[in-house]
Amino acid sequence: MKFLRNLLASILGSLVAFMIVVGMFFIFMALVGSVDNGVVVKKNSVLELRFVAPILDYTGKDDTDPFAALWTEELGLDEILHAIEVAKDDDNIQGISLTTGFLQAGMAQTREIRKALIDFKSSGKFVMAHSDVYAQRDYYLATAADEVYLNPVGVVDFKGLATEVLFYKELQEKSGIKMEVIRHGKYKSAVEPFLSDTMSDENRTQIKELITSIWSVIVDDIAESRNITPQNLNIIADTLGGRTPEYAVASGLLDGTLHYDEYVSLLKEKIGVAEDDDLNYVKLEDYIQIAGKKRIRTGADKVAVIYAQGEILGGEGGKDYIGQGLIVDALHKAVDNESVKAIVLRVDSPGGSALVSDIIWREMQLAKEEKPLVVSFGNIAASGGYYIGVGGDKIFAEPTTITGSIGVFGTIPNVHQLAENIGVNAEQVGTNKNSVDYSFFEPMTDSFRNVMQESIEETYDTFLDRVSKGRNMPVERVNEIAQGRVWSGVDAQALGLVDELGNLDDAIVAAADMAGLEDYGIRKYPKYKSGFDQFMEDLGGVKAKIGETIIKEEIGTEAYDILKEFKQLTKQEGVQAKMPFSLKIK
């Protein structure tokens, strides 16, 4: 008994000590966060953009949360654009130095940052770019600069866009684990990766047209900035004209090659700093904290911006996935808030649950009866992401937005073959003809498949009807351009799937105009749980995050993404309004 008492006392003492240490840590961080972050923008400073963290449309950071920087590694596109706009009129900021290497952002996000940099230059300030290696997306961003430089032994990756689709049919046959697929009958390429080991001609055609359209936008933008014709840019891409620094300079992709110290000397020269003096850099992450205290748009009247980003899975939702909880609550708050005169829904989603998509769509209908509601599409607004978008009064998309994919399907895991191989047999007993549910361990019955097919067809018809009414198009016309096909923003506008090409700011201006506003501020929704709240609610989440990091480092990013994608399939419930395959354009 004495041993047990001592053991319990030791455990209790350890827990108390742990809580004291944790408490002191958070008290210390709160004190640190309650004072100025110590960043001072000196005269003749250069704002340094590196973009080492992943970029989301919105991180939902609470400016009053002293722990926000500790728990959120991502950057919000909204705060990046705001910081660049504030820097444009900051007398202490003389220019921007762009030194990113591997930008973790979508094409639409990249284009928005690029436009912000071009606008920054309109103030008469400079934007300079330098890198050791330019991945294609980074080079596209860098061409917003006045001058673009590369390490003398670096590389420019400029060869055109490509994408890769993985196929799992043979894997299913070998493992005994397969996905039972129920889909709308007219599909050409829906859920093809589970049904074939090769890409169909129809699927290859639609993907080729999609990335060709996006590439055309990129080429046109670069052509304007670098004063190279689109035809010549395509020749450079076809001949790999940037594969060596010498070729890249000769072809006009670069202004020259410089070691980083030489590049710093060039920056000093541009702002009149002596070679022996230090250059005053301000990191973007630090400047975001300063810029966050300044409001570009002010006014008692507000335009609410609601962010819906990630796969549509249901539940409360968060910064990584869409649930009806946070989005519906945000819509209600925006409608009920008397100072909010218009609403903008920002969508960046490949889709997901058809049920959750329809719940959000219905709330959109109710909201726009009260206030103007404009929709802005980001990197992707496909299937369920597009579904909720058609609930708005007006839709904006970036030219590079992956749009459409109007279609539904269902995938259900089945391990019958694996169970048979390892000697597992499942028996079910029920009271009625249909009381026995689907079993993962038995082949799918015809009756169950018929019921699921009926549900798929009904959901697809509902989807067509939602688009037809939202876009004021005949159902037959919608059906022609549906079938799960994806389009670029440019093609989506030509087909009538979106109203205008433009970014989030364009959508905000349109919403304000619809409400008759001249002076107005912005109110953002939703607010996600702070890192501290999430930590206290789920300590295991920290352990899981550490585990994910270790796995990613061991097997590599690409293999980890495949594992993550396969894991995501097991979370799908019910009929899916989602892109039937994953596109990673590079």
**Res 548: pLDDT:** 54
Statement: residue 33 has pLDDT above 50? no
Residue 366's pLDDT band, with cuts at 50, 70 and 90, is very high
**Res 582: pLDDT:** 61
Per-residue model confidence as pLDDT tens digits over 268-299: 999 999 888 889 999 999 999 999 889 889 89
Q: Give the separation between CA 345 and CA 364, rounded to whole angstroms.
A: 9
**Res 586: pLDDT:** 64
- In DSSP terms, 97 is beta-bridged to 48, 128
Residue of 121, 188, 469, 552 marked catalytic: 188
Identify whether 89 is part of a domain.
yes
Structure token digits, residue 399:
């030219």
Q: Give the separation between CA 443 and CA 414, rounded to whole angstroms.
A: 7
**Res 67: pLDDT:** 54
Residue 438's pLDDT band, with cuts at 50, 70 and 90, is confident
Q: Taking residues 484-500, report their average pLDDT.
A: 96
Q: Give the separation between CA 225 and CA 447, rounded to whole angstroms.
A: 60
**Res 32: pLDDT:** 46
Give yes or no: 383 in active site: yes
Q: Give the separation between CA 225 and CA 499, rounded to whole angstroms.
A: 27
Statement: residue 556 has pLDDT above 80? no
Candidate from 322-331, 451-460, 523-532 with smallest mean pLDDT: 523-532
> What average pLDDT is seen over the chain?
86
Q: Which amino acid is at 134?
A: Y
Structure token digits, residue 50:
């590196």
**Res 28: pLDDT:** 47
Identify whether 579 is part of a domain.
no
Identify whether 116 is part of a domain.
yes
Peptide bond into 372 cis (omega under 30): no
Residue 240's pLDDT band, with cuts at 50, 70 and 90, is very high
Identify whether 574 is part of a domain.
no
Statement: residue 62 has pLDDT above 90? no
The residue among 205, 201, 231, 202 whose CA lies nearest residue 216 is 231
The residue among 357, 353, 403, 351 whose CA lies nearest residue 377 is 403
Identify whether 440 is part of a domain.
no
Q: Give the separation between CA 130 and CA 148, rounded to whole angstroms.
A: 6
- Work out the percent of the chain whose per-residue pLDDT is above 90: 64
Structure token digits, residue 560:
């980890």
Give yes or no: 122 in active site: no
Percent of the chain that is helix, strand, coil (3-state, to 5): 45, 20, 35
Three-state SS string over 164-206 comes to: CCCCCHHHHHHHCCEEEEEECCCCCCCCHHHCCCCCCHHHHHH
Statement: residue 26 has pLDDT above 90? no
Instruction: Report the CATH number at residue 267.
Output: 3.90.226.10
Q: Which amino acid is at 89?
A: D
Q: Taking residues 547-559, report their average pLDDT.
A: 54
Contact 40, 20 (CB under 8 A): no
What one-character-per-residue DSSP string does 65-133 give? -TTHHHH--SEEHHHHHHHHHHHHT-TTEEEEEE--SS--S-HHHHHHHHHHHHHHHTTT-EEEEEEEE
Highest mean pLDDT among 23-37, 322-336, 412-426: 322-336
Q: Which amino acid is at 342?
A: A
Report how many domains make up the chain.
Answer: 1
Residue 265's pLDDT band, with cuts at 50, 70 and 90, is very high
**Res 23: pLDDT:** 53
By three-state DSSP, how is residue 457 classified? helix
Residue 436's pLDDT band, with cuts at 50, 70 and 90, is confident
Residue of 97, 189, 251, 383 marked catalytic: 383
By three-state DSSP, how is residue 544 classified? helix
Statement: residue 27 has pLDDT above 50? no
**Res 361: pLDDT:** 97
Q: How many CB atoms lie within 10 A of CB 337?
A: 14
Contact 191, 181 (CB under 8 A): yes
Contacts of 93 (CB under 8 A, 6+ apart): 41, 45, 46, 47, 87, 125, 282
**Res 184: pLDDT:** 78
Alpha helices by DSSP H, 427-473: 446-471
Of residues 579 and 81, the one with the higher pLDDT is 81
Identify whether 550 is part of a domain.
no
State the maximum Cα–Cα separation within the chain, in Å, rounded to a whole number. Answer: 88
Identify whether 296 is part of a domain.
no
Q: Give the separation between CA 286 and CA 40, rounded to whole angstroms.
A: 9
Residue 411's pLDDT band, with cuts at 50, 70 and 90, is confident
Residue 181's pLDDT band, with cuts at 50, 70 and 90, is confident
Per-residue model confidence as pLDDT tens digits over 186-238: 655 668 888 899 998 888 999 999 999 999 999 999 999 999 999 999 999 99
**Res 546: pLDDT:** 47
Identify whether 76 is part of a domain.
yes
Find where tokens 């319990």 sit: 8
Domain that holds residue 254: 45-159+240-291
Contact 486, 215 (CB under 8 A): no
